[in-house]
């Protein structure tokens, strides 16, 4: 299976560089696999496709302002991108360094407000291990001084608006460096409407990292290796999934991060075990889904692992038919774009 088989041409004006005025005012394309139909709706009306038998599982990870700026001892500017925290009792992080020429083990990088970054050495071929320290807790400094890690296709710096909008309303556990974008469409009022209708929700956590947005650099899909990402499935969520299946309801994954976590945590019989760990599952066409019954997602980049997962769930030809229609009908693409529901 070739990576180029998942390529498509997207007019640049369809890339959503800013969020919709209201989260749930985004458009919603509904794909019915059984009927092979594609319908246009609004996200605020998603409730009509759900029932009290169903369970929506959401990723409650919180995006950290992971882009930092500092200076080398020589005075040269440098950009650090936090990937994941690796230290238990110290602020040691795996990081990407933009413009890493001249970076070496033992170098001390100066950040603002008295925070320093000690380069401990190479973590792997892509990342460095950096220890942060200063006169105040790093988490507090980071929340104030860090910049939200907007995807490069936005082609703009992050603004104050992004601190709220590049975050789901149910974000709770800090650790992600990219938003679980399917969840961005939900509002507090929509969640209340779901609750009033008897439609249940549950939470899990997957801290979105390199594994989600890393480009695929091989020719054959099967040769790609995905980075690990930390996850946690509470016992209450595992119990809710079990109860949903027993009553004949559907498990609806809100986003590809949720879908990957559930599929990683499920055994071959579709039973989810509560717990935490590191997920490295790569889902592409040919994969047999063990647990999820429906998927809410956004429109993804060409040749991305996210697009491959959606194609695995709904069928590649069906998904590409939907993408062609989305382009023709001027849907908004990518993180701040419109949504798709596959049932």
Flag the least confident range among 22-31, 93-102, 230-239, 328-337.
93-102
Distance between first and last Cα of the chain: 25
Nearest by Cα to 232 from 199, 265, 202, 192? 265
Q: What is the pLDDT of residues 291-317, one digit of tens each?
A: 999 999 999 999 999 999 999 999 999
Q: Please, what is the average pLDDT of the chain?
A: 94
> For residues 313 and 259, is the Cβ–Cβ distance under 8 A?
yes
Residue 89: pLDDT band with limits 50, 70, 90:
confident
Give me the mean pLDDT over the 71-96 stretch.
90
pLDDT, residue 88, reads 80
Counting Cβ atoms within 10 Å, is residue 156 exposed (0-12), middle (13-18) or buried (19+)? exposed
Domain boundaries 67-146, CATH class:
mainly beta
Q: What is the pLDDT of residue 231?
A: 96
Select from 3.40.1780.10, 3.40.50.1950, 3.10.20.30, 3.40.50.11540 the CATH code of 3-63+162-342. 3.40.1780.10
The pLDDT confidence band at residue 341, using thresholds 50, 70 and 90, is very high
For the full predicted model, state whether its pTM sits above 0.85. Answer: yes
- List of E strands, the chain: 27-32, 37-42, 55-59, 61-63, 67-71, 77-85, 92-98, 108-110, 116-122, 128-133, 173-176, 200-206, 229-233, 251-254, 275-279, 294-298, 339-342
The residue among 158 and 114 whose pLDDT is bigger is 158
**pLDDT at 233 exceeding the cut of 80:** yes
Domain boundaries, the chain: 3-63+162-342, 67-146
The percent of residues in the chain predicted with pLDDT above 90, rounded, is 87
Which is more confident, 225 or 212? 225
Tell whether the model's pLDDT for residue 210 goes beyond 80.
Answer: no
Confidence of residue 211 (pLDDT cuts 50, 70, 90): low
């Amino acid at each position: 299976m070739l990576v180029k088989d998942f390529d498509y041409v997207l007019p640049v004006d369809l890339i959503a560089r800013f969020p919709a005025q209201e989260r749930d005012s985004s458009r919603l394309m509904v794909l019915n696999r059984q009927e092979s139909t594609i319908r246009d709706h609004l996200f605020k009306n998603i409730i009509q496709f759900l029932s009290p038998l169903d369970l929506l599982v959401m990723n409650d990870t919180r995006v950290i302002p992971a882009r930092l700026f500092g200076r080398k001892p020589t005075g040269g500017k440098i950009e650090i991108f936090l990937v994941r925290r690796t230290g238990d009792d110290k602020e040691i992080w795996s990081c990407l360094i933009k413009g890493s020429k001249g970076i070496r083990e033992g170098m001390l990088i100066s950040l603002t407000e008295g925070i320093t970054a000690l380069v401990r050495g190479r973590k792997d071929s892509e990342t460095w291990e950096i220890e942060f320290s200063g006169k105040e807790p790093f988490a507090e400094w980071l929340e104030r001084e860090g910049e939200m890690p907007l995807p490069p296709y936005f082609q703009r710096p992050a603004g104050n608006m992004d601190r709220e909008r590049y975050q789901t309303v149910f974000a709770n556990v800090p650790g992600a460096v990219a938003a679980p974008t399917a969840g961005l469409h939900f509002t507090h009022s929509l969640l209340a409407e779901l609750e009033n209708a008897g439609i249940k929700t549950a939470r899990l956590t997957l801290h979105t990292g390199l594994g989600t947005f890393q480009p695929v650099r091989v020719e054959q899909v099967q040769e790609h290796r995905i980075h690990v990402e930390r996850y946690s499935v509470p016992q209450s969520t595992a119990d809710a999934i079990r109860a949903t299946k027993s009553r004949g309801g559907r498990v609806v994954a809100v986003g590809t991060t949720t879908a990957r976590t559930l599929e990683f945590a499920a055994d071959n019989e579709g039973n989810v075990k509560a717990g935490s760990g590191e997920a490295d599952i790569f889902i592409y066409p040919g994969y047999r889904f063990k647990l999820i019954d429906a998927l809410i997602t956004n429109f993804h980049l060409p040749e991305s692992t996210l697009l491959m997962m959606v194609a695995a769930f709904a069928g590649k030809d069906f998904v590409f038919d939907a993408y062609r229609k989305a382009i023709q009908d001027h849907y908004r693409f990518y993180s701040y774009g419109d949504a798709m529901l596959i049932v």
